[in-house]
């Protein structure tokens, strides 16, 4: 199975750049599954009906989340919509709307959510870190153990690829999760920092790992936000609302994974990055 995973899609520039990138990369790489982190898809923070629809219409099959998942007017309604392939981190308070992991079945080009692990072709788990985060989430290490123990009690790899969107800030916490899950999941893919890291690798027991995939968003920005206003916050230390940087060029960061049909481990891992200079807002 080939899986194309885009990091945090940031605001309109991210959405447009993603819409531009997917047809090209689909043709080039022929992925079976396309996943994108959507926590910043609506104005740089949160989700909305229109922006979730935009991602799905662009060809994204599964949308993961992070600390901004609950921002946006209808975020809770969207997260509670069982028909949407939308996740939020599993180690947030369990009473919150939405789900932290989901099974998917794949038939041809179609991918559907399934509640039956026996029918699953893929499991996607979304986790959030505890280091340098505003809230004290449950331990992602213990929560992921608990999830995996339900489907692979012997601590072996489950009978389908397991992809973890690991939404965290500190690279130390990130690589710790890589080692924690090595051999038990297909991939631990970092999101949240919006900055791609060059440390992609397949760990000794077969788990693909990268500290951060990087965002899909405006290249001339401070992690997606407009430069001068964001910089002013650092200079003055006065809180200020900062907009999405709109101007091109835009950067597109993703990873491409290929899993073995028998072992369900990753046999190929490739980091993808493209910077496009066109203004894409009039693209079809
Ligand atoms: Fe983000
Ligand atoms: Fe985040």
For the stretch 53-70, pLDDT in tens is 999 999 999 999 999 999
* Confidence band for 108, pLDDT divided at 50, 70 and 90: confident
pLDDT tens string 214-271: 999 999 999 999 999 999 999 999 998 999 999 999 999 999 999 999 999 999 999 9
Contact 85, 105 (CB under 8 A): no
- Encoding tokens for residue 1? 């199975």
Give me the residue spans of the domains in the chain: 2-276
Contact assessment for residue 265 and residue 206, using Cβ atoms and an 8 Å cutoff: yes
CATH of 2-276, one of 3.60.21.10, 3.20.20.70, 3.30.70.260, 3.40.50.300: 3.60.21.10
Which protein residues have their CB within 5 A of the ion that is ligand 1?
8, 39-40
Tell me if 39 is assigned to a ligand binding site: yes
Which two three-digit tokens encode residue 5? 């995973």
Residue with tokens 């898809």: 41
Catalytic residue among 20, 54, 61, 68: 68
Residues 6+ apart with CB under 8 A from 136: 130
Q: Is 68 a catalytic residue?
A: yes
CA Rg, the chain, in Å?
18
Distance, in Å, from the CA atom of 281 to the CA atom of 271, rounded to the nearest integer, reads 26
**Residue 266 neighbours by CB distance under 10 Å:** 24
Q: Is 132 annotated as a binding residue?
A: no
Query: Phi and psi dihedrals of 122, rounded to 5?
Result: -160, 140
CB 10 within 8 Å of CB 37: no
Q: How far apart are CA 208 and CA 266, in angstroms?
A: 6
Give pLDDT, residue 153.
63
Q: Are 48 and 42 in contact (CB under 8 A)?
A: yes
**264 labelled ligand-binding:** no
Q: Which residue has the higher pLDDT, 252 or 282?
A: 252
Give the global pTM.
0.96
pLDDT of residue 281: 55
Residue 160, helix vs strand vs coil: coil
SS3 183: coil
Among all bound ligands, the one having the nearest atom to the CA of 217 is 1
Q: How many whole angstroms from 262 Cα to the centroid of ligand 2?
A: 34
pLDDT, residue 172, reads 98
- C-alpha 6 to ligand 1 mean position (Å): 12
Give mean pLDDT, residues 188-193. 98
Is residue 24 predicted with pLDDT exceeding 50?
yes
Query: What average pLDDT does this structure show over 193-218?
Result: 98
Q: Is 121 annotated as a binding residue?
A: no
- Kind of pairing between the strands at 33-37 and 2-6: parallel
Residue 279's pLDDT is what? 65
For residue 154, is pLDDT > 80? Answer: no
Q: Judge whether residue 283 has pLDDT over 90.
A: no
Please give the distance, rounded to the nearest whole angstrom, from the Cα atom of residue 105 to the centre of ligand 1: 27
Q: Are 40 and 224 in contact (CB under 8 A)?
A: yes
């Amino acid at each position: 199975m080939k899986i194309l995973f885009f990091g945090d899609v940031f605001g309109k520039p991210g959405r447009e750049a993603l819409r531009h990138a997917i047809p090209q990369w689909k043709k080039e790489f022929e992925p079976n599954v396309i996943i994108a982190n959507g926590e910043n898809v609506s104005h740089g923070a949160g989700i909305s009906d229109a922006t979730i629809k935009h991602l799905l219409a662009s060809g994204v099959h599964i949308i993961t989340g992070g600390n901004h998942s609950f921002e946006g007017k209808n975020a809770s309604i969207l997260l509670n919509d069982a028909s949407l392939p939308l996740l939020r981190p599993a180690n947030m308070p369990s009473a919150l709307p939405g789900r932290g992991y989901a099974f998917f079945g794949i038939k041809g080009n179609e991918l559907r959510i399934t509640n039956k692990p026996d029918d699953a072709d893929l499991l996607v788990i979304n986790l959030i870190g505890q280091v340098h985060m505003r809230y004290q989430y449950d331990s992602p290490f213990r929560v992921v153990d608990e999830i995996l123990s339900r489907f692979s009690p012997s601590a072996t790899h489950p009978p389908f690829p397991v992809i973890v969107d690991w939404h965290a800030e500190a690279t130390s916490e990130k690589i710790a999760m890589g080692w924690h899950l090595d051999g038990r999941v297909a991939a631990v893919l970092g999101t949240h920092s919006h900055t791609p890291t060059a440390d992609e690798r397949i760990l000794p027991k077969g788990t693909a790992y990268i500290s951060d995939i990087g965002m899909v968003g405006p290249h001339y920005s401070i992690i997606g936000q407009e430069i001068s206003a964001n910089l002013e916050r650092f200079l003055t230390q006065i809180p200020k609302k900062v907009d999405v940087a709109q101007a091109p060029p835009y950067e597109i960061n993703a990873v491409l994974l290929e899993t073995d049909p028998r072992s369900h481990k990753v046999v190929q891992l490739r980091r993808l990055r493209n910077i496009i200079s066109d203004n894409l807002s009039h693209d079809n």
